[in-house]
Structures are given as C-alpha cells and as structure tokens.
Amino acid sequence: AQSVTQPDIHITVSEGASLELRCNYSYGATPYLFWYVQSPGQGLQLLLKYFSGDTLVQGIKGFEAEFKRSQSSFNLRKPSVHWSDAAEYFCAVGPTYNTDKLIFGTGTRLQVFP
Amino acid sequence: GAVVSQHPSRVICKSGTSVKIECRSLDFQATTMFWYRQFPKKSLMLMATSNEGSKATYEQGVEKDKFLINHASLTLSTLTVTSAHPEDSSFYICSAQNPGINTEAFFGQGTRLTVV
C-alpha cells in the first residue's frame, strides 16, 4: 500500500541550528515527492518537489531535500533555521508531477527557540 | 503563488445537522479541486476530486452521499457534510488547480469541524 511516514511528530530546534525532517515512503511506482509547509491559519505551501534527475532538490525559503531511493527517503533540510520557519511540515507522494491525488504524511511540527 | 480561501476555518455543529465548507480560488480559475481529510494524528487523505461542471470522483471508502461535493463554478467548490456525527469531526482541507496552466495545486487553510 502507498504510504508516507514522518517519524517525528514534533521537533524543537534553536534558531540558527541546522534542521533535518525525515520522510520515508512506500510506493509501488516511480514516486513523485513533495514537501509542504503550513503556518498557523494558512494553507499548505509547496516548498519543493522531486520527480527525476538530480536527487538533491532546492526549494524556497532555503530548504532542500535529498531523494535516496535505496532508503526510500526524502528528507528535508535547512542549514540554519529562522524563527519564522516554525510551522507544520508535510511530506507527500503522488503519482505524477501534478500535485493532485497526493498521499500525505502525518506532519512534523517544528518549534524554533530563540 | 495563487490564493485559495477556505471558509469557515472552524465550525462546531450539533449531531444530525449538515455543514457546508467553501473553497474558493481567488485569483485563478480552478478547473479541478481536491478535498482532503485529516484524522487526528493521521495523514491527510484525499477524499474526492471534483472537476468544474461534473460529478466528483470519490476515493474508495468515502461515502458520496455523506460528503456532498459541488463544483458549480471555476472559482468555487463546496463540501457539505450531511447528517454530521461526532466521528465526522476532523480537519478538512481543499486544494485547487488549473492543470492546463500549472502543475501545482494550491491549498486552502483548512476547516476544523467539531460535531457535538
């Protein structure tokens, strides 16, 4: 069955520290992978997506993610976290490059301390 | 990115009543809209896909008579939870897309429904 797992429900980091949010997927076909961020009261915003090519993908707001097929992972990283990065982060997998029919993970809530 | 507005953001209703949630694309024409539901501590799961002017396509296990979806215009889709029960309490979120223009679907801010 298709699924996305985000093992960390809640992560707390200090401002300026590096960040890695984990995402593992189970998908029968070629996966199209996405990371979204949701700030309180806001809609989900697409950070980045991967479907082929270079396995290190750059996104908005200084985020990047690396696709590792052997580990079925698509972890999100940021070298230096800002207080404004505090939000809920969702990893998702889909059947195409279109962001439709997505299967989401349970989300990781990021808290940033000054 | 484009703006999708979802209303209301929170709603509490009595068991047995119906609740309507609106999803509007404010600055583009959304030929396709998607409705998702998130159970507590669970993933967001796609409920249905609606194309403007046609019937919605529901995912397996989603009761179409329970969750009525209407996509009557290119900027508005509605989800009506009929005869709501406490187990329908959840977070509902919509997204809107115009596949002919953009591969990205844009999300609303979600609606927290509590049925008491």
The Cα A113–Cα A108 span in angstroms is 16
Nearest residue on chain B to A37, alpha-carbon basis: B107
User: Which residue spans within chain A are E strands per DSSP?
Assistant: 3-5, 10-14, 19-21, 24-26, 32-38, 45-50, 56-58, 64-68, 73-78, 87-94, 103-104, 108-113
> How far B102 CA sits from the closest chain A CA (Å)?
8
Residue A99: per-residue pLDDT: 62
Partner-chain contact A44 B97, CB within 8 Å: no
By CB atoms closer than 10 A (0-12, 13-18, 19+), residue A70 is exposed
Residue A98: per-residue pLDDT: 66
Per-residue pLDDT at B80 exceeds 90:
yes
Q: In this structure, what token pair is assigned to residue B66? A: 């329970």
Partner-chain contact A100 B34, CB within 8 Å: yes
A78 or B51, greater pLDDT: A78
Interface of B with A (CB under 8 A): 1, 4, 6, 9, 32, 34, 36, 38, 41-46, 49, 93, 95, 97, 99, 103-110
The Cα B85–Cα B88 span in angstroms is 5
DSSP string, chain B: ---EEEE-SEEEE-TT--EEEEEEESSS--SEEEEEEE-TTS-EEEEEEEETTSPPEEPTT--TTTEEEEEEETTEEEEEE-S--GGG-EEEEEEEE-TTT-S--EE---EEEEE-
B49 vs A contacts (CB less than 8 Å): 100-101
Return the sign of the alpha-carbon dihedral for residues A40, A44, A47, A52. positive
Per-residue pLDDT at B93 exceeds 80:
yes
B45 vs A contacts (CB less than 8 Å): 103-104
Task: Label residue A76 by pLDDT band (50, 70, 90).
Answer: very high
What is the percentage of chain B residues whose pLDDT exceeds 90?
66
Per-residue pLDDT at B3 exceeds 90:
no
Residue A97: per-residue pLDDT: 66
pLDDT digits (tens, 9 = 90+) for B33-57: 999 998 777 778 889 999 888 889 9
Per-residue pLDDT at A100 exceeds 80:
no
Per-residue pLDDT at B102 exceeds 80:
no
